[in-house]
Amino acid sequence: MNTQSPFYWWVQQAQSLASQLQPPKWLIQEAQQRAVLLINHVLMQEPEACQRLRRVAGQKVQVRWRQFSFQVVFTPAGLVDIGDPLQSAHLVLQVAETSPWVLAQSLVNGQKPPIHIEGDVQLAAEINWLIDHVRWDLEEDLARLIGDAPAHAIGQVMRQLAQALRQWLVRPGTKAPTQTGGQAGWV
């Protein structure tokens, strides 16, 4: 017997409200600036990633999800900067999943969300390589600030919390993944 969740109505109302609310423009710009800083921090720790991005310097990628849009341009240094949203992008990545809940579930389970791709195929291949090979070593960054032992302890707690969250979010009849990864051929 297939029954509906008792929270279905609440989830629908929350999604409806979220689709009507628009954060202020300054908040979106600030979040994009912080995202660029984080992306560049991670890229600078991976020399091969920077080298690959130098080859596509000047090209623009736009990521869209629902009413939100974020455009970046690759710099000659192999990093990213915020792109002008009025200029056309060489590659547009449209996240197909509109539900934040389902999107969060798939990301927590280590799956890549479904993406519609328009534009430069070679640039899409470079982005896919970055997604598959570049990882942020948060524990290493914490170790620089607070030392190795406390950073390792915090990292262990975070991994346990992530595993508990994965097990909680996994749908009945499916199995939680043992490691993060993605589906081949996403981009």
CA-based end-to-end distance of the chain:
38
Residues 52, 134: Cα–Cα separation, whole Å: 12
Rounded to the nearest angstrom, the gap between the alpha carbon of residue 153 and the centroid of all alpha carbons in its chain is: 25
What the chain holds in terms of domains, given with CATH numbers, is 24-169 (3.30.1050)
How far apart CA 62 and CA 146 sit, in angstroms, is 36
Q: What is the pLDDT of residue 180?
A: 43
- Read off the pLDDT of residues 65-85 as tens digits, 9 standing for 90 and up: 888 899 999 999 999 999 988
Residues 6+ positions from 60 with CB-CB distance below 8 Å: 71, 72, 73, 74, 83, 87, 88, 89, 90, 91
Q: Residue 105 to residues 136, 153, 169: CA-CA distances in angstroms?
A: 20, 26, 6
Structure tokens belonging to residue 183: 């589906």
pTM of model > 0.75: no
Query: At residue 7, what are phi and psi to the nearest 5 degrees?
Result: -95, 5
What pLDDT was estimated at residue 152? 82
Instruction: List the structure tokens of 152.
Output: 């390792």
Kindly give the parts of the chain with pLDDT less than 70: 1-5, 15, 18-19, 166, 169-187
- What is the per-residue pLDDT for 165? 72
Torsions phi, psi of 105, nearest 5? -60, -45
Other Cβ atoms less than 10 A from the Cβ of 175: the count is 8
* CA dist 61 → 1, 119, 150 (Å): 46, 9, 38
